Amino acid sequence: MEQQRDQWKSKFGFLMAAVGSAVGLGNIWGFPYKMGMNGGFAFLVIYLLLVAFVGFAVMLGELALGRKTGQGAVGAYIALSKKYTWIGYMGVASGFLILSFYSVLGGFVGKYMISFLIEMFSPGAAFGGMGSGEFFGAFINNAGGSILFHFLFMIITAVIVMGGVSGGIEKFNVVAMPALAVMLVVVIIRSVTLPGAGAGLAFMFAPNFAAFKEIGFFNVLKTAAGQMFFSLSLGMGCMITYGSYLSKKEDLEGSAFIIPISDTLMALLAGLAVMPAVFAFGMEPTGGPGLLFVTLHTVFTEGLTGFIGSLFGFIFYFLVLLAAITSAISLLEVCSTYIIDRNTSAGKSSNRKTITGILAFIIFLIGIPVCMDGLGGGNIIGANFWFGKWCFLDFYDLISEGIFMPLGAMLMSIIIGWVIKTKVIKDEAEIEGNKLKFYKFWEICFKFVVPIVMVVVLIGQLQGFGIF
């Protein structure tokens, strides 16, 4: 039974949706704190190299596979060969794991947004005179509150995905993404004009590779690689899924550049918003996952003050929330599309709403432990529960962006470079008259660069488990 597959309504709509998937908490929350913990400049350089030599190619590969097969993550691999099915499953599993902690973080953002809204009208009512670190600490240890906001975030995401690709997702992104960029620039202006902000700029841009010695080159590399996959929504079939809704007329090669470049610019903007403020307020760049929340809270309460500070805080978190939702949508979409495609190929019709609702509920449940361990500090569930090493968030993150995504990207590249051959990507890209201009570059990336870099990253990752 053939079912008409939805398509993006316009080129701009698709790009916005893809950029909307890519730009999210990975850029705004993940990038600054991972850069902070991995030596600033050294991390930035490795990150940019990875985007250039791995990110662009994996993006092109995923979009092309999706469009060629017209299938989501699992279906696309099955269409190539049944023996690759598990690569697709790895992607769907990553989607599940990522969304389950992503939604908790999205809930945090929602709670900050509401807190600033309350502060606008009754100063002190939300923060109660607490410093930003103290507020954050109290906040992550309130498991009930976190679960509630996690639940709300999942509901919003599910409702939008139920609307289908062009109805729900597209409209939403067209407004949210540009608005966020503008707001980030506003925060940057405040951040870089704080006294002492220069040290933060130097941390990001003054050449300094000390981190390779102190933290270890492989540790910086594997963190940057995981961050890159996460931030670009690559390695788990998300862009395969989005590509499957793409019209044959679209220029795949152009998109493979534009999406990563936009995403990287947003990450840089977020870094510029956070790092100068970290140094200006005498905080530690190595502050970890709380860095964004603690630092920007201080920017909005001390850098800017009073009503204006709360107003800007509210608008900022509102836009971050939108960015998080547009990414969460794509994560849920990978999971829903998998089930819908599976039903379609089995000749069954699917109810998108029911499927999405059930999946969202399961993901909500998987995310609950993340709300209960105080990000590793221990609350209802003891400190660093997983082997005494990881909190739930880290653990889910490690399995997905640390292992499944580099592995997925590596296997896809090997399949493209060596099994079906890069020519297949060229044919798909050129199907309606577009020209693939950098064929040699893509071929070298698929055949050599991506697989080799990914092997190094995966070995580094296994070391972290104490396996090597």
Residues that bind ligand PHE (CB under 6 A): 21-22, 24-27, 98, 230-231, 233, 236, 238, 327, 330-331
Give me the least distance between CB of 267 and ligand PHE, in Å please: 8
∠ CA 461-228-103 to the nearest 5 degrees? 90
In the complex, least distance from residue 425 CB atom to ligand PHE, rounded to whole angstroms: 21
Rounded-to-integer distance, Cα 38 and Cα 61, Å: 29
Nearest CA to 294 among 36, 12, 88?
36
- Give the position of tokens 């893809």: 18
Tokens of 131: 């410093």
Which residue's Cβ lies closest to ligand PHE?
26
CA atoms within 13 A on the CB side of 159: 7
Q: Dig out the tokens for 367 from the structure.
A: 């995310």
Cβ distance to ligand PHE smaller for residue 136 or 229 = 229
CB of 81 to ligand PHE, least distance (A): 24
Least separation in angstroms between residue 202's CB and ligand PHE is 26
Q: How far is the CB of 233 from ligand PHE (least distance, A)?
A: 4
Angle at 148 between CA 146 and CA 153, to 5 degrees: 95
3-state secondary structure of 249: coil
Supply the minimum distance, in Å, between the C-beta of residue 357 and ligand PHE.
20
Tokens (6 digits) for 385:
């529960």
Closer by beta carbon to ligand PHE, 322 or else 391 = 322
Q: Which is nearer to ligand PHE, 78 or 99 (by Cβ)? A: 99
End-to-end CA distance of the chain: 50
* Residue written as token pair 């109805």: 167
* Shortest Å, Cβ 232 to ligand PHE: 6
Q: Which is nearer to ligand PHE, 98 or 436 (CB)?
A: 98
Is the CB of 197 or the CB of 238 nearer to ligand PHE? Answer: 238
DSSP state at residue 235 = S
- Residue 263 phi, psi (nearest 5): -65, -40
Cβ proximity to ligand PHE: between 65 and 238 the closer is 238
Phi, psi torsion values for 386, nearest 5 degrees:
-75, 100
Pick 326 or 461: Cβ nearer ligand PHE = 326
